[in-house]
Chain A
Amino acid sequence: MTFDDYLARIKQLDQRIGSFLSVEESAPTSPVTGGALSDLTIAVKDNILVKDRPATAGSKILEDFIAPYDATVIGKLKAAGAKIIGKTNLDEFGMGGSTENSAWQITRNPWDLARVPGGSSGGSAAAVAAEFCDASLGSDTGGSIRQPAAFCGLTGLKPSYGAVSRFGLIALASSLDVIGPIAKDAMTVERIFQVIAGYDKFDQTTVDYQHQAVEFSPQRIKIGLPKELWRLKIDPSITAAVRELVDFFVKRGAEVKEVNLPNFEYGLATYYVILPAEAMANLARYDGIRFPASQRSSGKLLETYLDTRAMFGPEVKRRILLGTYVLSTGHYDQYYQTAVKVKNMIGDDFRRAFGQVDVLITPTTPTRPFKIGQISDPLDMYQSDLMTVAVNLARLPALTLPCGLEDNLPIGGQLIAGEGGDYLLLAMAKYYQSQTNHHLQRPDIIVKNNG
């Protein structure tokens, strides 16, 4: 489909889905031709800066902010010929697992409009599932690429920490944030990853990661199944589909063994200490002085801070206060320091596991997409990140791919590799998708509207 075809489809259907916050009026006038991605139309999560375009991060506090430069990943995409079609909805500053926490609109799951697309990159996932673009960029701090990709029946890569520059990404938790691609298939995900990966002098945490596609041979692979995971509360249809995913590789000669990740289950509580601590520091910059949104009618500095920061939504306020709590005197050792220790223990567990196996397979999410408005308790919403957060804490790469449908709702399987093993995950996913058709399934709304 051409850029203009996609624009027409967005105009026709996105009012029912709500994936975009802003859309281009027309195709770019002079895109790079003959580039590695010149055939691709790409949507971008609204917390990644595209020069001269709005970047709200789903927050009222960034209303009227126009990005003054391209994020490194956007510069690389444009140089490779990719055409950016618009900015996609997200939970405010990436805080949420359903895209219900955006200040602007909710996004619906194209597979079932009464259900959430996941989050926080829910707009990016819904836009690909609704075929409004070839692929999208999301960001993943605790599962925000993988969970929505799984909920929308897509392939999504959370790269190794440091493999992709975050320069121009509106920061949530800097020790965990990473940008990655979402598409229908691993081939497209890999093409985009190849372009955006690599060292960037504007992001001190990047490494010189040069992606090389490799051949995959199942006979040479050892798959690990974390024993502790299957004890957790997981939807049985998801467990069954992920077992089939494992069997696919075993039938073709892969070796499979159980491994121990004894601290995996503590990942969630650990994450919800570390994330608010970092987020509250990152969000201190929204003070009514440096960005356009400012409530300064009082004429006083403290009042300007308070009046401006009242624009944050409920989940953001909650996490700012939690971050303040865990870093305050008397709680710092008890919570923050303990969480950092447990984070290190989780990393050590993974390192031991990858001494025995090449890749781990788990479900991506404990449940299938839930209904809009179904989860109101914040702690229940955090459970949605159960399978994904530990990977961020350990800085590892992980990929989600569709591996089944139950009641016409997609199921995702998660492949996890050791640090820098992004190439292995992509090779494995391409191999799987070359022999199966889960990634080719389309939601009814698209089939009915477009044939």
Chain B
Amino acid sequence: MVPPGIIIVMSELSLTEIDHLATLARIRLTDEEKERLGRELGKIVDFYATIQAASSNGQVIPEQAGRVKPIGDLRPDELHSGPSGLTQDELKKLAPEVRDNLVVVPAVFE
């Protein structure tokens, strides 16, 4: 329960923040999407606050991020054919544009 007199202010991500994230993620957004995502992401980020509580409730927290025990083993570093004898030609067929045996990429520099 919220004590009387306390107002909970829901966070909202600013348009500047949304623009920055969209640029990093290479996602183009319409103005309507930016406005909506600012609100939605703000609410979700507020929800994340609950894990801050969990991580500081007096328990000893293991520091290292991974702590994943290694399973399986690394295969020898050698060439081998993929599954079902997948060929280069079959993979190249997936690219939108191929020329002279190369995948075509639009110009990086203008």
Which chain A residues have a beta carbon within 8 Å of chain B's beta carbons? 51, 65-66, 68-70, 72, 75, 162, 167-168, 175, 199, 201-207, 263, 265-266, 269-270, 272-273, 280, 284, 287-294, 296, 298-307, 309-310, 312, 314, 317-318, 320-326, 328, 334-335, 337-342, 344-345, 377-379
Asked if B15 lies at the interface with its beta carbon under 8 angstroms from chain A, I say no
Q: How far is the CA of A408 from the CA of B69 in the complex (A)?
A: 45
Asked if B82 lies at the interface with its beta carbon under 8 angstroms from chain A, I say yes
What's the minimum C-beta distance from B25 to chain A, rounded to whole angstroms? 5
CB–CB A338/B40 < 8 A: no
Closest to B24 in A: A324
Point out the residues of chain B lying under 8 angstroms from A320, CB to CB: 25, 27
Closest to A162 in B: B71
Interface size class of B (residues with CB under 8 A): 35 or more
Contact status of A309 and B83, CB under 8 A, knowing A328-B21, A338-B55: no
Asked if B3 lies at the interface with its beta carbon under 8 angstroms from chain A, I say no
Q: Which of B29, B40, B72, B108 contacts A204 (CB 8 A)?
A: B72
Q: Which of B27, B51, B95, B96 contacts A266 (CB 8 A)?
A: B51
Q: How far is the CA of A69 from the CA of B83 in the complex (A)?
A: 7
Point out the residues of chain B lying under 8 angstroms from A202, CB to CB: 82-83
B39-74, CB under 8 A of A: which get 1 and which 0? 011011101101111110001011101111001101
Question: Can you give 6 A-B contacts (C-beta < 8 A)?
Answer: A68-B94, A168-B83, A289-B96, A318-B40, A322-B44, A341-B63
CB–CB B96/A294 < 8 A: yes
Q: How far is the CA of A335 from the CA of B63 in the complex (A)?
A: 14
Q: Which of B26, B54, B95 contacts A305 (CB 8 A)?
A: B26
Asked if B90 lies at the interface with its beta carbon under 8 angstroms from chain A, I say yes
Q: How far is the CA of A433 from the CA of B43 in the complex (A)?
A: 42
CB–CB B25/A324 < 8 A: yes
CB–CB B28/A310 < 8 A: yes
